[in-house]
Amino acid sequence: MAKIHVTTTVNGEPTEFLCTATQTMLDVLRDVLGLTGAKEGCGSGDCGACSIIVDDRLVCGCLMLGAEAEGRRILTIEGMAEGDKLHPLQQKFVELAALQCGVCTPGVLIAAKALLDRNPDPTETEVRFGLAGNLCRCTGYDKIVRAVLEAAAEQKEIAR
Amino acid sequence: MSEHRYKWVGTRQNRPDGADKVTGRARFAADFNLPGELVGQVLRSPHAHAVIKSIDVSRAAALPGVKAIVTGADFPEQPDQVVPAGEMQVNLRDVTRNIMAKEKALYEGHAVAAVAATTADIAKKALALIEVEYEKLPHVIDVREAMAEDAPILHPQMRTEGVTPTPSKASNIAKRLEFTKGDAAAGFVKADFVIEREFTTQPVHQGYIEPHAALASASEDGQVQLWTTTQGHFQVRGFCCRLLELETSQLRVTPSEIGGGFGGKTVVYLEPVAIRLSQKAGRPVKMVMSREEVFRASGPTSGGHVQVKLGATRDGRIVAADVTVALQAGAFPGSPVGPSCMCSLACYDIENIRVVGFDVVSNRPKVAAYRAPGAPISAWAVESTVDLVALELGMDPIELRLKNAAKKGTKTHYGPTFGVIGMVETLEAAKASAHYRSKVKPGHARGVAAGFWFNIGADSSAAAHVGEDGTVTIISGSPDIGGSRASLAMMAAEELGIDYDKVRPIVADTASIGFSFVTGGSRVTFATGLAVINATRDMIHQLKLRAAKLWEVDVDGVVWQDGEARPSSTNVGEFEPLSLAKLAASASRTGGPINGHAQLNAQGAGPGFGVHIVDLKVDADTGIVTIDRYTAVQDVGTAIHPSYVEGQLQGGAAQGIGWALNEEYIYDARGKLQNAGFLDYRMPVASDLPMIETLLVEVPNPSHPYGVRGVGEVPIVPPMAAIGNAIARATGVRMVDLPMSPPRLSAALDAASPRLAAE
Amino acid sequence: MARVVLTYSFARQYASGQTEIEVPGRTVRQLIRALDARFPGIERRLEHDVAVVIDGVLHQNAYLEEVGETAEVAFIPPIAGG
């Protein structure tokens, strides 16, 4: 099968890759581009472990084809920190123990970023619904929700 | 709550693997790759029960790109006896058949063959070309049906153990257990009233988000390397060496970061298959399960049927109890029925007890451990019945439990007499909690339940190395599943009197540290923690020897304080203290590198007790339960890192809430699993839950220098009954079958409403 | 004499139904051997695949563990955990 040539932007970097017509974006990220931060937990869009942001929209990498990345801007967990500085959400997750095993964490962080990007001051309920597409089996979500709320509050404080 | 006698223990430090895990850098099993690796995939039985008459792989083998194929014939026959493999007692005849079927497929999803090919597409095509001739057999799914006289028999050679004389006829009941204390029959005569109910639970999956995955690389000289996601890489080594007739030293297993396990990653599935494929192909083989395979072929915990009969006097004493627990083990014997029976009444001091247990096989995937294996099933039944006693008496449910609580000196029905335990303290803390003292909101109801788990110790090894600059590496063999590296480093820093960030903990492969039992049974912070403390102390002894040598004094003249060697008194002489860095710098002159080691079989883990309180409301039309407030109270010994202790309580409670309200395996009439995915097997999501409040009752464990007690398992024991008890109080309807999902609950409410209306 | 405690079904199978037995011995191994003298064959059943609780303290592998003169030593089904 002939491969498809795709020109896109991944984490701010102009990127080109070849993929088959059936290859998912998640497979392209993990197997072609070597970005293994997004995880495959289900392959059916139910767990959110492969969450990425495509043109400001939260997407499950397993539900998008690699070929669909043409001309888009892709953000993965690998692009969330700036240089050696963790994103405030990442920092809060570490400080508040918002992860245990950590396998859902990349997806949760991307979903949390997508949430705060469009709603910088969410209520607890909004955070819970904003992250409802991301399964975490370890934490019971308590510390995750608190970390997102605290990161948002801190950002608001800084913005003031 | 901790009184902070320590510098590091009891504080909330950033975990050493935190940055890697929030940036996607941490490597889980599926993130490992090797040059030239092949893709391994498994062909699974479409039938719940069938004889495998023949397997023809010739067409698959002829497909270009296929490099190896294995079937049951590629794995040597194993003895039908329980033997140690990596410190676990297992029947290897069963284990080898579970990883790859031999004469029969025993459940839908049972592995029948596997291929290794150059691409996933080719592997998939090859699987479709393997021709398996099956002869379908009648199957049985339900535990009670499997126990029936005329049930389809899974294992013709199986005779029920624990029955005398040994039965002559094959049965699906692998084992019968019985525990007694006093005289249950006589006890019921003394009771003013007796309450009897039957309860059921469905199998539920551990639900770790990372599927099983393994990468094997076998060399021509017989050496094998394996990277895998596991709670115990030494167990993986033990199992694989037994199953593949390898010498232990030939197999080096490196654990990846582990994306959840909860007991489900203490056994092997893909690992021996990947190794065998790699041996045959002469190339590395990587295998990753799909979520569907995880559901169909890896271990959930048992579903069960539990009968409970409690007799009590009007003053609130439970005087007799009779409990029967039947647990389905899946296709091979080995449900957690023993612990289920033992935990069932462990919270209480009851004079007359009889508990009977059955281990039952049926055509489902073999169960694996799941957080406090077995305990939640019997606790669901017993704690619901205790609530019925409280309602009958009109007594506060915590008061009733306090009145009957097990304490030091209580003789259990399974034999031992309790030493110092924290059941009463935990109940008192629950009673005094802000949650329990608050008024229940209108339209809501409150439920309470308790839970018990043993906690274990067992084998751990640890090493401590001083670097040339005086910083320290702590090496253990315990995969870190929930922050244990942080706890281990904190204990080492506390011992050494140096800063936490000067101590780096790592999890080493099987060739780089001594044997360590699985991360499970709530043992790592306790047992591996002890090993780390001892290794650190061993290193401190070395440091003191080096200082003594430099000062030319006896080692007794040196003390270790605040990270440096000091003369123990002025009598020893006037010496400048020697810091770790100084001693490290002069190590070569004083005897070479400075390391410490320890290995132990930790005893005295000390049991844990938990009490959960839940406020909820029930939508009578839909049967949807909304949890409004939830508090988990637990006797945790000393919380080394309180955040991760709280996390254990919160995560366990959330899993219990899923078990209570939604999760179940659904089979059709052909014995096929109907909900092998996260869409239909519904685990709690963030919007289903409130904050989970925690109350840590810190009663230090005397068997550990810092008082550590295992905490991970207890919190999954109480939630089901706590929620059922609240639903009963909210609606007047006592649910006896799990899950209390919207369809079931609304049906139960509908069935009860004419009667309620009539009353 | 230590007091050995067996579960009901185990005792019925291997110890003539006696769940509590006074046995001489200062280690778990000595207790097991003394038991085996009284109930031949029980040793093989108690060496592996049991957990031992000595005076309320759970041991995973207690074969050579010392026991006090009046210790309570209970043999119970094995416990692993999740």
**A13 pLDDT exceeds 60?**
yes
* C-beta neighbour count of B29 within 10 angstroms: 27
CB contact under 8 A, B260 and A138: yes
CB contact under 8 A, C80 and B518: yes
Binding-face residues of B in 327-346 toward C, CB within 8 A: 338-339, 342
Binding-face residues of C in 22-81 toward B, CB within 8 A: 48-49, 53, 55-62, 65, 72, 74-81
pLDDT confidence band for B755 (50 / 70 / 90): low
CA-nearest of C48, C41, C14, C52 to B161 is: C14
pLDDT at residue number B620: 93
Rounded mean pLDDT, B625-632: 98
Answer whether residue C39 is part of any domain: yes
Q: Shortest CB distance from A102 goes to which of B257, B653, B677?
A: B257
Helix (H, G, I), strand (E, B) or coil at B452: strand
**Distance (Å) of CA B430 to CA A139, A143, B40, B123, C7:** 22, 22, 51, 56, 33
Q: Shortest CB distance from C7 goes to which of B179, B370, B605?
A: B179
Q: Is B384 within 8 Å of B199 (Cβ atoms)?
A: yes
**What DSSP line would sit under B459-496, residue for residue?**
EEEEEEEE-TTS-EEEEESS--SSSHHHHHHHHHHHHH
Q: Shortest CB distance from A140 goes to which of B24, B290, B651?
A: B651
Report d(CA B143, CA B449) in Å as an integer: 26
* Helix H or strand E segment including B510: none
pLDDT at residue number B87: 60
Give me the CATH number covering residue C43: 3.10.20.30
**B192 pLDDT exceeds 70?**
yes
The length of chain A is 160
**Residues in chain C closer than 8 A to B414 (CB atoms):** 7, 74, 76-77
Report d(CA B30, CA A36) in Å as an integer: 9
Chains C and B touch (3+ CB pairs under 8 A): yes
* Domains recognised in chain A with CATH numbers: 4-79 (3.10.20.30), 88-159 (1.10.150.120)
**Residues in chain C closer than 8 A to B84 (CB atoms):** 48
CA-nearest of B37, B99, B311 to B185 is: B311
Q: Does domain B18-25+457-602 have CATH number 3.30.365.10?
A: yes
pLDDT at residue number B704: 94
Binding-face residues of B in 599-618 toward C, CB within 8 A: 601, 603-607
| B30 interfacial to chain A (CB closer than 8 Å) | yes
Rounded mean pLDDT, B149-167: 93
Report d(CA B289, CA B23) in Å as an integer: 24
pLDDT at residue number C61: 80
CATH of B304-455+606-758, one of 3.30.2270.10, 3.90.1150.10, 3.30.450.20, 3.30.365.10: 3.30.365.10
**Residues in chain B closer than 8 A to C7 (CB atoms):** 177-179, 414-415
Chains in contact with chain B (at least 3 beta-carbon pairs closer than 8 A): A, C
* C-beta neighbour count of A13 within 10 angstroms: 10
- Reported as a single tens digit per residue, the pLDDT across C23-69 is 999 999 999 999 999 999 999 888 877 889 999 988 878 889 999 99
Which pair of tokens denotes residue B23? Answer: 């940036």
Report d(CA B694, CA A8) in Å as an integer: 47
CB contact under 8 A, C82 and B373: yes
| B173 interfacial to chain C (CB closer than 8 Å) | no
Q: Is the peptide bond before B79 cis (omega within 30 degrees of 0)?
A: no
The length of chain B is 759
Q: Shortest CB distance from B416 goes to which of C5, C9, C78?
A: C5
Rounded mean pLDDT, A148-154: 97
Closest-CA distance, A98 to chain B, in angstroms, reads 8
**Residues in chain B closer than 8 A to C49 (CB atoms):** 82, 89
Report d(CA A158, CA A58) in Å as an integer: 25
Q: Is the peptide bond before B479 cis (omega within 30 degrees of 0)?
A: no
**B3 pLDDT exceeds 60?**
no
Helix (H, G, I), strand (E, B) or coil at B560: strand
Chains C and A touch (3+ CB pairs under 8 A): no
pLDDT confidence band for B699 (50 / 70 / 90): confident
**B754 pLDDT exceeds 80?**
no
pLDDT confidence band for A160 (50 / 70 / 90): confident
Closest-CA distance, C18 to chain B, in angstroms, reads 12
Q: How many helices (H) and strands (E) does chain B have?
A: 21, 28
pLDDT at residue number B1: 42
* Helix H or strand E segment including B545: helix B529-551
- Reported as a single tens digit per residue, the pLDDT across B197-234 is 999 999 999 999 999 999 999 999 999 999 999 999 99
CB contact under 8 A, C81 and B263: yes
pLDDT confidence band for B89 (50 / 70 / 90): confident
**Minimal Cα distance from B179: which residue of C?**
C8
CB contact under 8 A, C81 and B82: no
| B35 interfacial to chain A (CB closer than 8 Å) | no
CB contact under 8 A, B24 and A35: yes
Q: How many helices (H) and strands (E) does chain C have?
A: 3, 5
Report d(CA B336, CA B266) in Å as an integer: 14
- Reported as a single tens digit per residue, the pLDDT across B92-148 is 999 999 999 999 999 999 999 999 999 999 999 999 999 999 999 999 999 999 999
A29: region left, alpha or beta (phi > 0 left; psi from -120 to 50 alpha)? alpha
Q: What total number of domains does chain C contain?
A: 1
pLDDT at residue number B753: 82
Answer whether residue C82 is part of any domain: no
Average pLDDT, whole number, for chain A?
A: 97
In this structure, the dihedral spanned by the alpha carbons of residues A153, A156, A158 and A159, taken in order and rounded to 10 degrees, is 170
Q: Is A143 within 8 Å of A76 (Cβ atoms)?
A: no
**What DSSP line would sit under A22-68, residue for residue?**
T-BHHHIIIIIS----S--S-SSSSS-TTEEEETTEEEEGGGSBGGG
| C17 interfacial to chain B (CB closer than 8 Å) | no
Chains in contact with chain A (at least 3 beta-carbon pairs closer than 8 A): B
Q: Shortest CB distance from A140 goes to which of B31, B211, B654?
A: B654
Amino acid sitting at position A7: T
**B296 pLDDT exceeds 80?**
yes
**B2 pLDDT exceeds 50?**
no
Answer whether residue C30 is part of any domain: yes
Report d(CA A160, CA B753) in Å as an integer: 56
- Reported as a single tens digit per residue, the pLDDT across A61-86 is 999 999 999 999 999 999 999 999 99
Sign of the CA dihedral with B383 first, then B385, B386, and B388 last = positive
**Distance (Å) of CA A22 to CA A4, A35, B731, C61:** 10, 19, 51, 54
Helix (H, G, I), strand (E, B) or coil at A10: strand
Closest-CA distance, B647 to chain A, in angstroms, reads 6
Amino acid sitting at position C6: L
CB contact under 8 A, B291 and A102: no
CB contact under 8 A, B643 and A143: yes
Q: Shortest CB distance from C56 goes to which of B178, B418, B456?
A: B418
Binding-face residues of B in 142-171 toward C, CB within 8 A: 162, 164
Report d(CA B100, CA B76) in Å as an integer: 11
DSSP single-letter state for residue B257? B
| B687 interfacial to chain A (CB closer than 8 Å) | yes
Sign of the CA dihedral with A12 first, then A17, A21, and A24 last = negative
Q: Is B258 within 8 Å of B28 (Cβ atoms)?
A: yes
B378: Cα within 13 Å, side-chain hemisphere: 32
Closest-CA distance, C59 to chain B, in angstroms, reads 5
Query: For chain B, how big is the Rg over CA atoms in Å?
Result: 27
More confident residue, C9 or B199: B199
Q: Is C81 within 8 Å of B520 (Cβ atoms)?
A: yes
CATH of B32-137+206-297, one of 1.10.10.920, 3.90.1170.50, 3.40.50.720, 1.20.1530.20: 3.90.1170.50
Residue C9 sits in which domain range? 2-76
Those residues with Cβ within 8 angstroms of residue C66's Cβ, 6 or more apart along the chain or in another chain = C26, C27
CB contact under 8 A, C77 and B162: no
Binding-face residues of B in 483-522 toward A, CB within 8 A: 483
| B419 interfacial to chain C (CB closer than 8 Å) | yes
* C-beta neighbour count of A34 within 10 angstroms: 10
Q: Shortest CB distance from A94 goes to which of B15, B30, B652?
A: B15
Rounded mean pLDDT, A8-15: 98
Answer whether residue C81 is part of any domain: no
- Reported as a single tens digit per residue, the pLDDT across A94-124 is 999 999 999 999 999 999 999 999 999 999 9
Q: What ipTM goes with this model?
A: 0.98
Binding-face residues of B in 230-269 toward C, CB within 8 A: 261-264, 266
Those residues with Cβ within 8 angstroms of residue B507's Cβ, 6 or more apart along the chain or in another chain = B255, B476, B477, B478, B479, B480, B485
pLDDT at residue number B85: 64
**Minimal Cα distance from C8: which residue of B?**
B179
**Distance (Å) of CA B675 to CA B105, B206, B663, B682:** 20, 15, 10, 9
Which pair of tokens denotes residue B509? Answer: 């492969």
Q: Is B726 within 8 Å of B613 (Cβ atoms)?
A: no
Rounded mean pLDDT, B243-258: 97
Cβ-Cβ pairs closer than 8 A, B with C, add up to 122
Answer whether residue C70 is part of any domain: yes
Q: Is B531 within 8 Å of B462 (Cβ atoms)?
A: yes
pLDDT confidence band for A1 (50 / 70 / 90): low
**Residues in chain A closer than 8 A to B17 (CB atoms):** 102
pLDDT at residue number B588: 95
| B429 interfacial to chain C (CB closer than 8 Å) | no
DSSP single-letter state for residue B527? I
Average pLDDT, whole number, for chain B?
A: 96
Closest-CA distance, B534 to chain A, in angstroms, reads 26
Which pair of tokens denotes residue B699? Answer: 């009663």
Chains in contact with chain C (at least 3 beta-carbon pairs closer than 8 A): B
Q: Kindly report which listed range (B472-476, B603-607, C2-6) carries the lowest average pLDDT score.
A: B603-607
**Minimal Cα distance from B28: which residue of A?**
A103
Answer whether residue C68 is part of any domain: yes
